[in-house]
Amino acid sequence: MKIDLRRMLAGEVDRVEFDYTVALDGELPYDTDIDFVEFTEPMRVSGEIVNMGGYMRLRARVSVEYDTECSRCLAPLHRVFTQEFERTAVAASSLVNTSDEDADEEYLFIEEGMLDATPAAVEELLTNFPTKELCREDCRGLCPKCGKNLNEGECGCPKKEIDPRLAKLAELLDSSDV
């Protein structure tokens, strides 16, 4: 969504607030490594752009609800991700002495009095999104033998399994009086 800054550029207002949503339709509209979640609500982008006397500063918050599973026990989880960020908004023609990389990371470009904050919001989402989620801090995960969720109790599998190649050595150690 484009944010109209023409009144700010004309000096009529010092602040423009915005609040909009971006439909993700279950997935991000970009090729990403975030394929382990399903976005259940549109991504919400809210904040303000403030005229700081010579430049404009965007202060925004991106939030999105999603479903995923615990990285240890695979229990279903519903989470909300929120990230705040800031960028400087400038007219595209005003940057002369910066490299394209620097400009893309820090600056948002105002074109024809309009600013699109969505690419920066998606970038913040992609950069800061958690890669592993836990159902709880002390999640015990699944038993590697039988697959039982160890948060629900013990599974009965032997805790210590002797390597069959060393079984004779274990017998020797058990029978010796050393």
* Contact assessment for residue 45 and residue 18, using Cβ atoms and an 8 Å cutoff: yes
Does the residue 166 lie in any domain?
A: yes
Alpha-carbon span 21 to 1, nearest angstrom = 8
Q: Are residues 27 and 108 in the same domain?
A: yes
State whether 145 and 112 are in the same domain.
Answer: no
Note whether 91 and 124 are same-domain residues. yes
Residue range of the domain that includes 123: 2-128
Q: 95 and 163 in one domain?
A: no
Specify the higher pLDDT residue, 44 or 1: 44
Residue 12 domain-assigned (yes or no): yes
Same-domain check for residues 80 and 112:
yes
Residue 114 domain flag: yes
Residues 124 and 145 in one domain: no
Q: Are residue 68 and residue 47 in the same domain, yes or no?
A: yes
What pLDDT shows up at residue 28?
A: 58
User: 20 in a domain, yes or no?
Assistant: yes
Q: Tell me how far apart the alpha carbons of residues 147 and 141 are, in angstroms, rounded to a whole number.
A: 9
Percent of the chain with pLDDT over 70: 85
Q: What is the pLDDT of residue 102?
A: 54
What value does the mean pLDDT take over residues 95-102?
56
Question: Cα 70–73–77 angle (5° rounding)?
Answer: 30
Residue at 134 is within a domain: no
Query: 100 or 54: whose pLDDT is higher?
Result: 54
Residue 67 φ/ψ region, left for φ over 0, alpha for ψ in the -120 to 50 degree band, beta for the rest: beta
pLDDT, average across residues 25-52: 79
- What local confidence, expressed as pLDDT, does residue 142 receive? 95
pLDDT of residue 55: 84
DSSP state of 42: P
35 domain residue, yes or no: yes
- How does pLDDT run across 46-88, given as a tens digit for each residue? 999 999 887 899 999 999 999 999 999 999 999 999 999 999 9
Higher-pLDDT residue of 58 and 173 is 58
**CA 88, CA 49: separation in Å to the nearest integer?**
9
Which pTM does this prediction carry? Answer: 0.75
Same domain, 98 and 146: no
Q: Where among 90, 106, 128 does a domain terminate?
A: 128
Is residue 171 domain-resident? yes
Q: Which two tokens stand for residue 148?
A: 């039982």
**Residue 33 shares a structural domain with residue 84:** yes
Statement to judge: residues 108 and 37 lie in one domain: yes
> Phi, psi at residue 79, to the nearest 5°?
-130, 165
Q: Is residue 42 part of a domain?
A: yes
| Phi, psi of 104, rounded to the nearest 5 degrees | -65, -35
The answer to whether residues 27 and 67 belong to one domain is yes
Indicate the number of domains in the chain.
2
Q: Are 82 and 34 within one domain?
A: yes
DSSP strands (E only) in the chain: 2-4, 15-22, 38-39, 43-51, 56-69, 76-91, 107-111, 114-116
